[in-house]
Every structure is written in structure tokens, then in C-alpha cells.
Structure 1
Amino acid sequence: MADLLTIENLGNLLMLIFLQAVLGFDNLLYISIESQRAPVAQQRSVRFWGIVLAVALRIVLLFTMVELIGLLSEPFFILDFEGILTGGVNFATCVFIFGGIFIIHTAVQEIGHMLTIEKLDADLSDKGGKSAWKVIMLIVITNLIFSFDSVLSALAITDVFPLLAFAIILSGLAMLVLADGVTRFLEKNRMYEVLGLFILLIVGVVLLGEAGQAAAHAAHDPELALRVFGYEVVPMSKTTFYFSVVVLVVVEIIQSGYTRKLNTERRTGARH
């Protein structure tokens, strides 16, 4: 126990908590949006159990990664379709590709649903279209996909399992505290749900980009990077990702304010 109480471990813990908070934002956004697909009376319990199960499985994933990191990082297949598709494939590559496609599919499906509804009230009453357990399973699976990125990033900081587990538990508690508030905000400001879905779309693209370099980074061999039609698949930097998110939020805020101003002027003009 005394070995854990060092200045180095304290610094690593603070870094891990910050990392989990930053990387957990998109996860919390997904949980808040997806939980609204469950029956209204069960949405809060869906968020609670989805987060609790996801955090527990994230710790299991972390333990597995710590024990098997060498085996999981080695490429198990080499793509050699010259000029079309080349590069190495490891476990992380598969997770990132599956996760990126899954998240993009979810976001596009929900955006398409919003475009096809005829009445907003009908959409609101149709929120409970999925069973509670189905939504919980979707939240858990997606959380694990998001977790892979954060677990790999965390392992780059330290391999001390108690520190990693404590940071994950703290991030889970933070999600439990914030999930209801984020959901209530999205319900009152439904235009931000669209914004959230487009952010998830970008997250899916980010994960696909991470897949391109997963095997190369693990083996420290640039030649194992995925290349499609001769072009290397390069991940989006975190700076670019968060800049894109900030731009989307700012545009939405300005557009919402401008729309309210136009509606006010129209109402004033109609009265006169």
C-alpha cells in the first residue's frame, strides 16, 4: 500500500482522472441520447445500470489488457493487396473499426429518424420504442468500445492497476451524477440532440482513423499502418476533434439565438 502513495503515482492519478473526464464526454452524450429510447418510466434506471455494468466491465477489460497487452498488440494478420489495402491488423484495429462503424450507423440512423418524423409530439411519444434491457446492452457495448481508446491511453501513462481502476471508478461516478442532468438538458433543448448525434458521427470517424495506426503503434513499425489505395489512414488529432466540437457548439448557439431573434421580430411585425 505504501508503494502506491508516491508523488509519481499521485501525479499519474491526476492525469488519469483528467484523461477519463475528457474522453468520457462523448460516452456520456451517447448514454444520455440512447437512454431516451427506453420506456420513459425506466429511463433513469437504464442510465444507472448501463453505467454501473459498463464501468464494471471496463475494469475487467483493463485487467485483461494489463495481463495480455503483449498478445493483444501483436498483429495477427497482414493485409497485402498492393495499391488497394495494405497494413497490419491486430485486436485494437478490429475493435476500432467495429466501434467506428457501429457509432456512425447509430448516429446516421437516429438522424434519419428525426428527418422522417411528421410530428414532434409523435416522436416524443415514441421514445420508448426499445426495451430497457436492450438499451442497457447497447449502452454497455458502446461504453466498452469507447473504453478501449481510454484504456489504451491510460496504459500509456501507467501500468499500476489500482490507480487505473480508481480513475475508472471515479469517471463512472461522475457519469452517474451528470447523466440525468445532461438528459434533462437534451429533452428541453432538442436541437442539441441533433448536435450530439453529429458529434457522435465525428467520434465514429475518429475511431476509424485510430484503426489505421493501431497495429503500427503497437509494433513500433510504421510499415504496418493501414493504407487504402496507397493513402495512409491517419487518425484525427484530439486537438482537431475538440476544435470541431467547439465549432459545432458555437454554430448551434449562434443559430439558435438568431432563430429566436427572427421569430421575435416576426411576432412583433404580425401584431403591428
Structure 2
Amino acid sequence: MTEILALLTDPTVWAALATLVVMEVVLGIDNLIFISILTNKLPADQQGRARRIGIGLALILRLGLLGTVAIIVQLTEPIFALFGRGFSWRDLILIAGGLFLVWKATKEIHHNVDPDPGPDMFEGSKAGLGFAAAIGQILVLDLVFSIDSIITAVGMTDHVPVMVVAVIVAVAVMLVAANPLARFIQANPTVVMLALGFLLMIGMTLIAEGFGAHVPKGYIYTAMAFSALVEGLNMLARRARRKR
């Protein structure tokens, strides 16, 4: 109790908490975009449940990983060397997650632009299989984003309670924003392509990080924000043309 009171009265702890909450929310946007695109392909009566399960899994994973912070930190230690560079478990997880994200985004882009994409695995008699597959894919990305998020958080503060509060707040924001974001993406097909482009960029960033090429997150999110602004202006222009 004394330790908790000390944390509550320390201004640096509050500053670290605010920074961590913002960071977790920003990192959670990537995960939320993926969840929204994936669950929109499910039958309407399963979409909300899939989003809740996906975000719930993200919370469980992150809280579970926070309980093993000492092990997570060790994931950055090299386990083998290739071409003169050491690779850690974190590097391998980021590379695998990035490749998965690039594969999934490319597949979704192909599905959206192909005039004859063939039967959809999420429709018809395979709806149950589609639901399980969607949850499985969400779980894979939850794991990748959670490990990266926890390692980043460890570098910002040593206080696990601060990390726990930041994670809970960020996941609560994701839970509130999930359905509105999914409806917005579904109602605007051009936004879907833009979001898939974001996922491709994030996937390539994860791969680059895994190979040791650090890409400042500010560049990534600035590009995403500018693209979103341009698309927003295009949407306003289309709406004005329809009114005329």
C-alpha cells in the first residue's frame, strides 16, 4: 500500500502513465484496423462478438505478458547470428508478424479489386469456420502487437502497475471505438483500401524492425494521418457533388 501511495504522489509516474496511455492507444489503432477489416467479412450477427473477443484477447495477452516482464525483456537477447547480425526472439516474432500482415493485406486487396474473387471463406456454410479463422488471425496479430507494446513500455517505466493501468485504459478505448470504426470502414469502400495500405506499411515496418532497421513511429503515423486527411477531403468532395 505504501508503494502504491508513493506512486500516486509522484508527478513523474503520472507523466509516464499519460505517455504510456497515448502510446498504447496509438499502437492499438493498428490492431483495431486489422480487427475491423477482418470482422467485417463475417456474418452481421457474428461481427460484434468477434470484435469483443479479439479485443478481450488483446487485453488478456497484454496483462499476461506484463506478469512475465522479466522474460519479455530477455526476448531482446540474441539467440543466433546470421550474416554478422544477431537475431532475438523479438526480432523473429516481429518478422513473422510483419510477413503475416503483408500477406493478409495483399490478399484482402486482391479480394477487393478482383472482379471475380470466387467464393469467400467467411460466407455460406463455412461461417463457423470463418469465425474461428478470424479469431485465430486476430490472436496472432494481438500477440505480435502486445509483445512490441510491452517491450516499448518497459523502456519507458519500471513500474508494472503503471503499465497495467495504461493497457486497461487503451483497451477500453479500443472497445468503445471498435464498432463505430468498423461501421465507418464498411460504409466507405475507399477507406478499406486506405486501411489495407496502412496495414501493408505497418507490416513492412515490423519486418524492418525485426531486421534491425529502426523506423521512427512518428514518420509512420504522420504519413497515415496525412493520407487519412486527403481521403477525408475526397469524401467531403464526393458528398458535395452528390448534393449538387
The alignment's TM-score, normalised by the length of structure 2, stands at 0.87
1:239 aligns with 218
* Conserved? CA contact 1:208–1:235, under 8 Å: no
Structure 1 residue ranges without an equivalent (≥5): 81-85, 214-233, 266-272
Work out the CA distance in 2 between the residues paired with 1:69 and 1:43: 32
The Cα of 1:116 is off from its aligned counterpart by 1.0
Work out the CA distance in 2 between the residues paired with 1:48 and 1:140: 12
Number of residue pairs aligned between Structure 1 and Structure 2: 236
Q: Which runs of 4+ in 1 moved over 4 A?
A: 125-130, 257-265
Alignment of 1:159-238 (within 5 A): 159-213=158-212, 234-238=213-217
1:34 aligns to 2:38 (yes or no): yes
For the structure 1 residues 235 and 59, does the alpha-carbon distance in structure 2 shift closer, same or farther, using more than 3 Å as the test?
A: same
Work out the CA distance in 2 between the residues paired with 1:149 and 1:173: 19
The RMSD of aligned alpha carbons is: 2.4
1:75 aligns with 78
* Conserved? CA contact 2:50–2:131, under 8 Å: yes
* Conserved? CA contact 1:55–1:172, under 8 Å: yes
1:116-140 residue CA offsets vs partner (Å, 9 max, x unmatched): 1359xx98x9598552222122112
* Conserved? CA contact 1:186–1:192, under 8 Å: yes
The residue type paired with residue 197 of structure 1 is L
Work out the CA distance in 1 between the residues paired with 2:179 and 2:49: 10
Identify the match of residue 14 of structure 1 among 13, 18, 22: 18
Instruction: Compare CA radii of gyration and give the structure with the larger one.
Output: 1
Work out the CA distance in 1 between the residues paired with 2:133 and 2:73: 34
Structure 2 residue ranges without an equivalent (≥5): none
Work out the CA distance in 2 between the residues paired with 1:238 and 1:72: 21
1:224 aligns with none
Work out the CA distance in 2 between the residues paired with 1:74 and 1:250: 40
The residue type paired with residue 171 of structure 1 is A
* Conserved? CA contact 1:39–1:131, under 8 Å: no
The Cα of 1:207 is off from its aligned counterpart by 0.7
The residue type paired with residue 231 of structure 2 is E
* Conserved? CA contact 1:51–1:140, under 8 Å: no
1:23 aligns with 27
Work out the CA distance in 2 between the residues paired with 1:26 and 1:48: 16
* Conserved? CA contact 2:21–2:166, under 8 Å: yes
The Cα of 1:176 is off from its aligned counterpart by 1.0
The Cα of 1:110 is off from its aligned counterpart by 0.1
Work out the CA distance in 2 between the residues paired with 1:137 and 1:98: 15
Identity rate, percent: 32
Work out the CA distance in 2 between the residues paired with 1:46 and 1:153: 27
* Conserved? CA contact 1:59–1:168, under 8 Å: yes
* Conserved? CA contact 2:32–2:178, under 8 Å: yes
Work out the CA distance in 1 between the residues paired with 2:73 and 2:17: 24
* Conserved? CA contact 2:27–2:149, under 8 Å: yes
Work out the CA distance in 2 between the residues paired with 1:172 and 1:166: 10
